[in-house]
Amino acid sequence: MGRVLSVDLGKKRVGLAISDPMHMISQPFKTLIFTSLTGLVKEIKVIIREKDVEEIVVGLPVKESGEEGEGCREARKFAELLNSENIRTELWDERYSSRLAENVMKSYGKKRKGNKATIDKIAASFILESYLKSKSSA
């Protein structure tokens, strides 16, 4: 059984989190610098091979109102690029994941400034945790 990788797509950075092979635990993995969607697909393909990833969960940044904006369009485009490479993807509502990640950092006495890369991968971990919980209860 392969792992699940989650992606918190941003304009500057991309947070990643990865599951254990049994799909029970989510852990922050790494933060990539965003250059382009096609460049990101190439980097993700390397991670898929190295970490035996079978599925990608792409965070969908739906607004609190439920509306979709530019971030959702980019996330959908990224998922389509992955799908075109025969990579199984799932779009997942990521509302509040960044806020939760910032709260975790705050609880450890860390400020947002200087820790954005860490916040991004923690946010990806919250996205993945939510996804894994939904699958285990289904």
Q: How far is CA 22 from the centre of its chain?
A: 18
Q: How far is CA 3 from the centre of its chain?
A: 13
Q: Model-level pTM?
A: 0.88
Q: What is the pLDDT of residues 18-71, one digit of tens each?
A: 999 999 999 999 999 999 999 999 999 999 999 999 999 999 988 877 788 888
CATH number at residue 8: 3.30.420.140
Overall domain count for the chain: 1
Helix (H, G, I), strand (E, B) or coil at 105: helix
Q: Has residue 103 got a pLDDT over 90?
A: no
Sheet architecture: strand order including 53-60? 26-33, 13-19, 3-9, 53-60, 89-93
9 in Cβ contact with 99 (< 8 Å): no
Structural domain range at position 90: 3-136
